[in-house]
Amino acid sequence: MLTRKQLWYLMRKERGGLWFDACRAQGWQYDDEQRRHGIYQHLFDAGKIQHTRASQFDDRDFDAVKSHLLVLASNIQGTVETDHPEIGEKRRLLHVVKLRQPKLLSIVLPVAEGADRNAAAFEYIDQVMSSRFHTLEGLRPVDDLNVPELEMLRDTLAARIDTYRQKAGYTVHDMYQAAHLPCPPSTACRKCAIAKLNHTEPVSA
């Protein structure tokens, strides 16, 4: 299921919206839902997406639709990603291991009093990379890892973050709140779901 940000990016009715830009470049009407769903059906029939409705898209569906619409809008990067869907997968994984997981580690990782928690988090990730992938610190940045390696790194860090979270006495929700991050949909967080329905900030325990 797509996030609000992904749906907004797909359908916003202004320049920069994926469907809007494709329509502008091709001379189509933005409100031509039959054409838009026809594109989804075409991608489905070609085996590029697993669902035909935006409300059911997963991340891989979104990447395929995004790439196709960028091609229609004459975006060169979109052309590249159409032929290489792993680019989108790697971009998502890098976002997790470079932005989200360091923030979570900075909350739960045990460090000496007064130590820089953010620096400690990145140093810890360097140690995991060196151990898992036999890299020398500073010689192989995380951006150079391929998709399987990034998946392994993500899963390793997720397991260790969860271990440290439990030792520190945080709930999943409170850990994400302390890191100023939304709980991921996979956690099915009840507090976040209630806050979303009420259009309020999630409450802490």
As a whole number of angstroms, the distance between CA 201 and CA 111 comes to 29
Question: What burial letters (b/e) apply to 27-48, b meaning 16+ CB within 10 Å?
Answer: eeeeeeeeebeebbeebbeeeb
Residue 104, C-beta contacts closer than 8 angstroms, at least 6 positions apart: 161, 165, 175, 176, 179, 181
pLDDT at 98 over 50: yes
Q: Does residue 131 contact residue 151 with C-beta atoms inside 8 Å? A: no
pLDDT at 27: 83
Q: State mean pLDDT over 10-37.
A: 89
Query: Which residue type, as a one-letter code, is found at position 126?
Result: D
pLDDT at 105 over 60: yes
Q: How far is CA 17 from CA 6, 11, 30, in A?
A: 10, 6, 11
Burial class (CB in 10 A: 0-12, 13-18, 19+), 59: middle
As a whole number of angstroms, the distance between CA 32 and CA 11 comes to 12
Question: Which residue, among 76, 61, 71, 65, has the nearest Cα to 11 in the 3D structure?
Answer: 65
Give the pLDDT confidence of 111-167 residue by residue, as tens digits.
888 889 999 999 999 888 888 776 555 456 777 788 888 889 999 999 999 999 999
pLDDT at 97: 92
Percent of the chain exceeding pLDDT 90 equals: 29
Confidence of residue 204 (pLDDT cuts 50, 70, 90): very low
As a whole number of angstroms, the distance between CA 98 and CA 58 comes to 22
Give the pLDDT confidence of 70-97 residue by residue, as tens digits.
888 875 555 555 555 666 778 888 889 9
pLDDT at 108 over 90: yes
As a whole number of angstroms, the distance between CA 3 and CA 26 comes to 27
Regarding pTM above 0.75, the answer is no
As a whole number of angstroms, the distance between CA 34 and CA 100 comes to 38
